[in-house]
Amino acid sequence: MIHFLKASLHEGLLNIREKLGSFLVTLLMVSLSFMVFDIFLVVSWNVGTVLSDEQESVGIELFLREDISEVEAVNLADLISVMEGVRSVYYVSSLEAEAVFRADLPEQADLLILLGPQFHLPSSIQISLHPDYRTSGKVSGLARTVSGMDGVKDVVYGQEYLPGLTSAVDMMGKLVVLAGLVLAISLSLIVANTVRLAVAKRALTVEIMSIVGAPGWFVRMPFLGEGLVTGIIGSAGSLLLTGVISSILSSSIPHDFLPGKWILLVLLLGASAGAAGSWIGMRSGIPKPRS
Amino acid sequence: MLISFQNVSRFYNDWPALENIELTVEPGEFLVISGPSGAGKTTLFRLIWMGDLPTSGLVEVSGYRSDRIRKGDLSSLRRKLGIVFQDFRLLSERTVFDNVALPLQVAGYSPRAVRKRVFSLLAEMELNHRRSSYPHELSGGEQQRVAIARAMVAHPVILLADEPTGNLDPDVSKHVIELLLEINRTGTAVILATHDPRQIPAGTARYLYLDRGHLANPVSWDGYNQL
Ligand SMILES: Nc1ncnc2c1ncn2[C@@H]1O[C@H](COP(=O)(O)OP(=O)(O)O)[C@@H](O)[C@H]1O
Ligand SMILES: [Mg+2]
């Protein structure tokens, strides 16, 4: 079996050696079209990070009436903590709120003194949500429910930007998938075409191999390998080029490069589109043996 | 019985390339099939190596039946066959050695076993000095001998030779025919398609005549003289 595979590999190399020029041109084409996708990915990754940081902080803030005692407030917090979609609740007493205010805005600490000793910041309950509940529909639903509860003065959540944020994150994901799909299809077609040409050029070899008893997979493997290698090297090349561009630009436009998982995904996309392409190319290229 | 054709017809569109063929070939036989161009000789061969299937009837080759053969069986069937063509069909980008080695390589033999067998066969066929040459550097006769070496390298039980001398000078043709007779003497069945059955000395082979898809059997030498 090992000799089998070696011989098959040898055939693949013969394949590539015979038309090194056109192989390199194909690689470049694949790399460049992949690069457009990579750049798009880098942009979406960075925008996505910002957006999801925003979304991470999506929660509900519940301001309580002054006449609510600490015990009542804690009871209320316990009640909310078992509601659907709530990850955790945290009770912030009036004193705590003032301490936070002083720490966060030291220059404006005088304001509190100015307002007099009878003024207190309201106590509040901070609700953080399960990731699934950080969408505008669910947050506002939950906000409505808690706002009707006894002792609640006011409910604040990201009413303003939340709907936009949710759909922006959604849109981003859809765009990436769409771009990946378009890229995979066009890459498959590029590879299919070169494989079809390769098969046509080696029609006699293919026929003779089949006539002298080569199994079907042995005849196909070199072409499949060519597509696979084109896809993998092409996408790896594009990542390299994009990485270089990214590091050149990183001083003027601060951003992150793609995380390892995404890089792997790009390579996987390249490999599968390459394999699919050679399969398409072979289907239309490899003739039944005739003599 | 190595090969049997049972009432085999092969139509292309409505044209019968072969019609109602009955034929059996025994191990070790030398069978000569002659007939004019377009008679159906190549079609008959193609049905034997199952590059094509009959429109009706049954072809059986070394236990493989045309009505039951699966794609995966084709390679094992073809390893039992050696095939030689009029136009040699050597791979131009490979040396003589690599051309002859191909059937062994695609069958998964180790490089050592391949070298051993190919070297001894090339020596036997007096092609050893040519083993690093490319096909275009060889004469027609040498190319056909390389093609025969390729057909024989994996010890087939049947050698199919489809007008192997069609592109060769008479004295070179004679050499090739002698080679086929030699191969037959070692026990390999040989089926030879040719325009000129007189190349084979009378009595050494069984003769069939194919005309417009029909098989005539047997045929007299007088018949040939009128061709
Ligand atoms: N693939 C094909 N498609 C259509 N007609 C074919 C095909 N192969 C052979 N034929 C026809 O079948 C007949 C027999 O051809 P062939 O077997 O090549 O004859 P021979 O080898 O005796 O010269 C011819 O008329 C030829 O035109
Ligand atoms: Mg013919």
At B166-195, the pLDDT tens digits run 999 999 999 999 999 999 999 999 999 998
The whole-angstrom separation of Cα A7 and Cα B105 is: 6
Q: Is the pLDDT of residue A285 over 80?
A: no
Q: Output the pLDDT for position B162.
A: 96
Q: Is residue B201 part of a domain?
A: yes
Q: What percentage of residues in chain A have a pLDDT greater than 70?
A: 93
Residues A43 and A170 in one domain: yes
Residues A75 and A130 in one domain: yes
The whole-angstrom separation of Cα B24 and Cα B211 is: 18
Assign A270 to helix, strand or coil.
Answer: helix
- Both tokens of B176, joined, read 């090739």
List phi, psi (to 5°) of A151. 95, -5
Closest-CA residue to B221 (of B197, B194, B195): B197
Residues A206 and A264 in one domain: yes
Residue type, A34: F
Output the residue whose Cα is nearest ligand 1's atom 3. Answer: B12
Cα dist from A268 to A234, A262, A272, A288, B209, whole Å: 11, 10, 6, 32, 60
- Both tokens of A187, joined, read 């890459």
Question: What CATH number does residue A104 fall under?
Answer: 3.30.70.3040
Q: What percentage of residues in chain A have a pLDDT greater than 90?
A: 16
Residues A48 and A169 in one domain: yes
Q: Output the pLDDT for position B224.
A: 52
Residues B27 and B135 in one domain: no
Average pLDDT, chain B: 92
B130 confidence band (pLDDT: 50, 70, 90): very high
Output the residue whose Cα is nearest ligand 1's atom 27. Answer: B38
Residues A279 and A178 in one domain: yes
Q: Is A283 or B8 the better-scoring residue by pLDDT?
A: B8
Q: Is the pLDDT of residue A288 over 60?
A: no
Q: Supply the range of the domain harboring residue A173.
A: 2-53+165-285
Contact criterion met (CB below 8 Å) for B213 and B202: no
Q: What is the mean pLDDT of residues B40-50?
A: 96
List phi, psi (to 5°) of B215. -100, 130
Q: Is A145 or B137 the better-scoring residue by pLDDT?
A: B137
The answer, yes or no, to whether any atom of ligand 1 lies below 6 A from the CB of B18, is no
Q: Supply the range of the domain harboring residue B185.
A: 3-80+156-226
Q: Output the pLDDT for position B227.
A: 45
Pick from B139, B154, B169: which residue ends a domain? B154
Ligand 1 atom with the shortest distance to the CA of A290: 1
Which residues of chain B neighbour A198 with C-beta distances below 8 Å? none
Domain count, chain A: 2
- Both tokens of A160, joined, read 């303003």
Q: Do B93 and A14 touch (CB under 8 A)?
A: yes
The whole-angstrom separation of Cα B120 and Cα B197 is: 31
Pick from A134, A157, A180: which residue ends a domain? A157
Q: Is residue A71 part of a domain?
A: yes
A55 confidence band (pLDDT: 50, 70, 90): low
Contact criterion met (CB below 8 Å) for B47 and B66: yes
B225 confidence band (pLDDT: 50, 70, 90): very low
The whole-angstrom separation of Cα B218 and Cα A2 is: 50
Question: How many whole angstroms from B166 Cα to the centroid of ligand 2?
Answer: 10
Q: Is residue A291 part of a domain?
A: no
Residues B148 and B186 in one domain: no
Average pLDDT, chain A: 83
Which residues of chain A neighbour B106 with C-beta distances below 8 Å? 7, 209, 212-215, 218
Q: Output the pLDDT for position B109.
A: 93
The whole-angstrom separation of Cα B78 and Cα A215 is: 10
Opening angle at CA A134, ends A130 and A137, nearest 5: 125
Q: Do A208 and B89 touch (CB under 8 A)?
A: yes
A162 confidence band (pLDDT: 50, 70, 90): low
The whole-angstrom separation of Cα B76 and Cα B73 is: 5
Q: Output the pLDDT for position B69.
A: 93
The whole-angstrom separation of Cα A84 and Cα A124 is: 20
Pick from B154, B172, B188: which residue ends a domain? B154
Q: Is residue B212 part of a domain?
A: yes
Q: Output the pLDDT for position A290.
A: 44
Contact criterion met (CB below 8 Å) for A55 and A89: no
Q: Is the pLDDT of residue A50 over 80?
A: no
Question: How many whole angstroms from B49 Cα to the centroid of ligand 1?
Answer: 16
Mutation test residue for ligand 1: of B8, B21, B43, the one with most atoms within 8 Å of CB: B43
Q: Do B51 and A215 touch (CB under 8 A)?
A: no
Q: Is residue A290 part of a domain?
A: no
Q: Output the pLDDT for position A82.
A: 86
Question: How many whole angstroms from A80 Cα to the centroid of ligand 2?
Answer: 89
Pairing of strands B3-12, B56-61: antiparallel
Residues A170 and A280 in one domain: yes
Contact criterion met (CB below 8 Å) for B67 and B54: no
Give the ligand with the smallest distance to the CA of B39: 1
Residues A275 and A191 in one domain: yes
Pick from B134, B154, B174: which residue ends a domain? B154
**Interface size between A and B, measured as CB pairs under 8 A:** 69
Closest-CA residue to B130 (of B113, A264, B139): B139
Q: Measured between CA atoms, how close is A203 to chain B, in angstroms?
A: 10
Question: What CATH number does residue B216 fall under?
Answer: 3.40.50.300
Residues A181 and A250 in one domain: yes
Number of residues that this document lists for chain B: 227
Interface residue A211 vs chain B (CB under 8 A): yes
Closest-CA residue to B184 (of B219, B156, B145, B218): B156
Q: Is residue A73 part of a domain?
A: yes
Beta strands in A130-286 (DSSP E): 152-157
Closest-CA residue to B142 (of B161, B124, B127): B127
Q: Is residue A34 part of a domain?
A: yes
Q: Is residue B105 part of a domain?
A: yes
Q: Is residue A38 part of a domain?
A: yes
Domain count, chain B: 2
Q: Output the pLDDT for position B219.
A: 52
The DSSP letter of residue A58 is -
Closest-CA residue to A266 (of A70, A79, A40, A50): A40
Q: Is the pLDDT of residue A172 over 50?
A: yes
pTM for this one? 0.74
Q: Output the pLDDT for position A212.
A: 95
Q: Is residue B85 part of a domain?
A: no
Q: Output the pLDDT for position A291.
A: 40
Residues B7 and B22 in one domain: yes
Assign A32 to helix, strand or coil.
Answer: helix
B117 confidence band (pLDDT: 50, 70, 90): very high
Q: Is residue B211 part of a domain?
A: yes
Residues A113 and A189 in one domain: no
Residues A169 and A242 in one domain: yes
Q: Do A213 and B102 touch (CB under 8 A)?
A: no
Which residues of chain A neighbour B50 with C-beta distances below 8 Å? none
Q: Output the pLDDT for position A163.
A: 64
Q: Is residue A6 part of a domain?
A: yes
Beta bridge partners of B160: B83, B191
The answer, yes or no, to whether any atom of ligand 1 lies below 6 A from the CB of B37, is yes
Summarize pLDDT for A77-94 with one digit per residue, the tens. Answer: 888 888 888 888 888 888
